[in-house]
Amino acid sequence: MTFLWSWLRWLFGYAVLEIQGAYGERFITLCMKNEIDLWEIRRVCPGIIRVKTFLFSKKRFDVLARKSGVTLEYKEEIGLPVTLKRYRLRIGLFLGIGLYLLLLLLFSRIVWSVEIPNVNPVQEKRIRSVLLDEGFGIGSFIPWVDYKNLRYQLMLKEDDISFVSVNMNGCRAMVEVRFSETAPPSVDDGTPCNIVASRDGQIVSMLVQTGMRYAKKGQTVQKGDLLVGGIMDTRLGYYVVHAKAKILARVTDVQSQTESLTRRISQRTGRRVIRREWRFFDKTVNATPWFSCPYDEYDVVTETKYLSFGDGENVPIALTETYYYETYSQEESITPEEAEELARARLDEIDRLRFYGVEVESVNETVSVTDRSVTVTRVRSVITDICEDKTFYFED
């Protein structure tokens, strides 16, 4: 309450006034009768009483002072009206305050960030793309956002979305999305088909569920050989089925990797040029329009620095600096051992994906070295499924 009074007094402005004369009490009584607010009334010395009063009561004091036979001296004037009067000629100051208030009003009606929680990066990218197509993103003017249309468009354009809500939390947009569970792909059991070998190999196990068996365990087959037939021959006649089986075979897999004994390496000379761009919400302003990269060979490194508050909250104003480092290339020769290691590492990387979940029986590795390169060849014996459906047309 005290704070509120102090603030109100400052807002309306108040004066420190000295009442000089023998009849100060009479003046104070007259002020009371005329409903003039006085506070902090203190006798500073005999014959002088110091009071505080509102500036808007000042006009009425002359008459009251005359009636009570005292003289008044204004010691100080404090408050907003006094400050405004003091700075009334400083147009720039008032323009600055006006501009500040305008920007404050404008920026509080702009989307500063769009958050899409509980989705993976791929889904997030898709959703952001649809939102941007509909004109919604960082920098959008909040009063113009059509939330209903955004929801409809997201549901229409993304088939797997079952629920969308777009809410504004201040200047932060929260897009909540629920994805529908997709049904597993249906298995086509109705189309007549044979099963043939997808690659050369020796059958190690054979489990036929439907169809006529045309191969047996231990048999060597070539790519395209019929393993299980879809035409069933019974005493009652022929009928066709969708052949189903799991046939594992021992197959040979050959993989090789060649590495050159020379390689080109790129090194920085130490010189660089910088291109700068300012980003305000979704608008980009090139700060170096005269920029052109003077180097033939260069590395590019981009750094984006966002303005942020103390707690790490980013403001959608950023400076993007793109560094162009000048480079030069040179040939470097490596030893055959280093090349072999390099080839092996690359083969390991490929094999990790190719043979994931596949039983490998044995691996033979050969290395061949020439004047210019090293080749590592891996021959593997693996057990894998060689079934391949082959549909056929059947006419009664």
Of 128-167, binders to another protein (CB under 8 A) are: none
The minimum distance between CB 37 and another protein, in angstroms, equals 7
How far lies 331's CA from each of 127, 167, 263, 309, 334, in Å?
A: 46, 58, 6, 49, 10
Spatial separation of the C-alpha atoms in residues 301 and 270, rounded to whole Å: 14
Please, which residue, 78 or 273, has the CB nearer to another protein?
78
Spatial separation of the C-alpha atoms in residues 291 and 274, rounded to whole Å: 8
Q: What's the burial of 337, exposed, middle or buried (CB within 10 Å: 0-12/13-18/19+)?
A: exposed
* Nearest residue to 300 (alpha-carbon basis) of 284, 320, 286, 285: 320
> Of 21-29, 82-90, 99-107, 137-145, which segment contacts another protein by CB under 8 A?
21-29
* Nearest residue to 386 (alpha-carbon basis) of 170, 146, 256, 196: 196
The minimum distance between CB 61 and another protein, in angstroms, equals 14
Q: Does 18 bind another protein (CB under 8 A)?
A: no
The minimum distance between CB 89 and another protein, in angstroms, equals 37
Please, which residue, 41 or 358, has the CB nearer to another protein?
41
The minimum distance between CB 16 and another protein, in angstroms, equals 14
Please, which residue, 38 or 226, has the CB nearer to another protein?
38
Please, which residue, 43 or 372, has the CB nearer to another protein?
43
Please, which residue, 29 or 83, has the CB nearer to another protein?
29
* Nearest residue to 40 (alpha-carbon basis) of 49, 31, 30: 49
Spatial separation of the C-alpha atoms in residues 263 and 372, rounded to whole Å: 11
Please, which residue, 38 or 231, has the CB nearer to another protein?
38
The minimum distance between CB 29 and another protein, in angstroms, equals 4
> Of 20-28, 59-67, 362-370, 378-386, which segment contacts another protein by CB under 8 A?
20-28
The minimum distance between CB 34 and another protein, in angstroms, equals 9
Of 90-129, binders to another protein (CB under 8 A) are: none
The pair of structure tokens assigned to 236 is 């009652």
Please, which residue, 5 or 87, has the CB nearer to another protein?
5
Spatial separation of the C-alpha atoms in residues 128 and 150, rounded to whole Å: 11
Spatial separation of the C-alpha atoms in residues 304 and 308, rounded to whole Å: 12
Q: CB–CB of 142/167 below 8 Å? A: no
Give the interface size with another protein as a residue count (CB under 8 A): 16
Indicate the DSSP class of residue 74: E
Indicate the DSSP class of residue 249: E
Spatial separation of the C-alpha atoms in residues 229 and 214, rounded to whole Å: 7
How far lies 249's CA from each of 193, 195, 201, in Å?
A: 20, 14, 6
Helix (H, G, I), strand (E, B) or coil at 371: coil
The minimum distance between CB 79 and another protein, in angstroms, equals 18
Please, which residue, 31 or 127, has the CB nearer to another protein?
31
Q: Within a 13 Å sphere around the CA of 27, how many CA atoms are in the beta-carbon half?
A: 27
The minimum distance between CB 25 and another protein, in angstroms, equals 5
Spatial separation of the C-alpha atoms in residues 341 and 367, rounded to whole Å: 11
The minimum distance between CB 19 and another protein, in angstroms, equals 10
Please, which residue, 33 or 235, has the CB nearer to another protein?
33
Of 24-83, binders to another protein (CB under 8 A) are: 24-25, 28-29, 31-33, 35, 37-43, 49
Residues that bind another protein (CB under 8 A): 24-25, 28-29, 31-33, 35, 37-43, 49
